[in-house]
Structure 1
Amino acid sequence: MTGLLVGAVFGAVFVVVNAQSPLNTVTVTVLRVAACLAAAGVLAMWFATARKERREAEARRSMFGRGYLIIVAAEVILLFGGLMVLAASELPEQANVAWVALVVGAHFVALAPVWKDRSIAVPGVLLTLLGTAGFVLVPTAAVAWVPVVSGVLSGVVLLAGAVTMGWRAAMPRAA
């Protein structure tokens, strides 16, 4: 659940920061409120399952071992190094959103075999595709839509995944 909470927070941030023009103000407001409510829902599920998670703490510790640390270190280097390269290339700043989505997506794909959990590869692939789609839009007249495609939609993917998996974890299993 802690990983889902992190995903939900980042998903909400993706939506809140990137929901902007060319979307109309009503759509922006609805997206931002829905993102915050979804993240709050995952937070509530996190508290509801905290006791169960404490019992599984030992298994969770192994998730954050050497492989995880290597992937996160690579992610940080790629994120900030790539943003510097994009700035030096004088691409429109919207390209930054596409880069972040692409790198975050790739990090989920890389974590799937480390954590032995294929389900996290699904949002990873979707974020990678949304980041790539944003890069396709950068040199076009549709560049203003890059934050929506690579930012808002990536946030929606993260939130939908976190809410779905959180709901499954929080609901009691039928015998």
Structure 2
Amino acid sequence: MLAEVTARATEAETWAREAAEAKDSLASFFNQLEVNREWIRCHGIGHIVKAILDAPETAAGVDQIKLRAREAGFKAGYNRCIGHMNVLAQGKYTDEWSGFHGVDTEARLDAAIASFYDMPISSLEKFDEFLDAEDCVDRLRMLYADAEVSEEEEVAGDGKGGAGTSGTK
């Protein structure tokens, strides 16, 4: 009977030790999740948004939309002006001499906007690769390690002993 009690006590101690180790492991995992979440909130999201905004594809898409919007605005303004002049001149003016005669500028603007929203951004492909990995936050930290240092340097000063002053007196 003593051997049976000793075996059960040993089994209970083993189970308790394994439970304590599992609890410590879960606590450590949870703490790491909190640290990762805080880094993503404070740094990661800003870096991802900056990468999207600074992407050459974004700049080209916005430039295309601005160009098409300007064309549509010019054509609409030209046609409105012709409409006002025709009231005074009994319909003598047309848009034949306009550079936008026969051009559907609104459709071109709509196509540019649709193209902008459907365009792939190369920097987002890296993020997709990282998000599939188990250590995605660590990879993002490595990717943006230099950016974080430069932000800290900007806050501290200009790196020339200026301590962040504007240089004017």
**When the two structures are superposed, what TM-score results if normalisation uses the length of structure 2?**
0.30
Compare relative contact order (CA 8 Å, sep 6+) and give the higher one, 1 or 2.
1
Of Structure 1 and Structure 2, the greater helix share is in 1
Larger-gyration structure (1/2) = 2
**When the two structures are superposed, what TM-score results if normalisation uses the length of structure 1?**
0.30
